[in-house]
Amino acid sequence: MTEPILLDTGPFVACINERDRYHEWSVAHWQRIRPPLLTCEAVVSEAAFLLYREGYRPQRVLEFLHRGAVEVRFQLQREVEAVRHLMTKYADSPMSLADACLVRMSELVAGARVFTIDAHFRVYRRNGRQVIPVIAPDARS
């Protein structure tokens, strides 16, 4: 796959955690995606926390950044107003900070698809009404 891929927490964790129910699915897709996958610091933080909670070294997440497989290409300070607007709009979901950042990234990165296991990305819209293309377990990907 050559289009930009935005990495969500779920597949990041599942790639590392062999006990995760999406591990095999995630690994299979990671192998087809051309690096780097783009993400935000909120995803990196969530992934490190969730892996730590499951008994994995959270540094494993940073190894992906160090190798260049994943790149943080989002500056929350610049996009805080747009992210705040998204979190307000989807407050009933509720939308996490990581999800809001990824939705905003999908608005900023032309042709991007979100690599996720989160069904909320079927509800979220970029630029108001546009469906966000995803790579997800139940999507055609």
| CATH number where 89 lies | 3.40.50.1010
The count of domains in the chain is 1
- For residue 94, the 8-state DSSP code is T
Per-residue pLDDT reduced to its tens digit, 21-50: 999 999 999 999 999 999 999 999 999 999
Cβ within 8 Å of residue 72, ≥6 positions away: 38, 39, 40, 41, 44, 65
In a domain? residue 27 = yes
Residue 2: per-residue pLDDT? 75
In a domain? residue 66 = yes
- Tell me the pLDDT of the chain averaged across its residues: 95
Task: Please give the residue range of the domain that contains residue 98.
Answer: 5-135
Per-residue pLDDT reduced to its tens digit, 50-84: 999 999 999 999 999 999 999 999 999 999 999 99
Residue 138: per-residue pLDDT? 81
In a domain? residue 61 = yes
- By CB neighbour count within 10 A (0-12 exposed, 13-18 middle, 19+ buried), where does 131 fall? exposed
Q: Rounded to an integer, what is the distance from CA 98 to the centroid of its chain?
A: 7
In a domain? residue 24 = yes
In a domain? residue 141 = no
Classify the C-alpha dihedral 119-14-22-2 as positive or negative: positive
**This prediction's pTM:** 0.95
In a domain? residue 140 = no
In a domain? residue 81 = yes
Using DSSP's 3-state secondary structure scheme, residue 3 falls into coil
- pLDDT band of residue 140 (cuts 50, 70, 90) is low
In a domain? residue 79 = yes
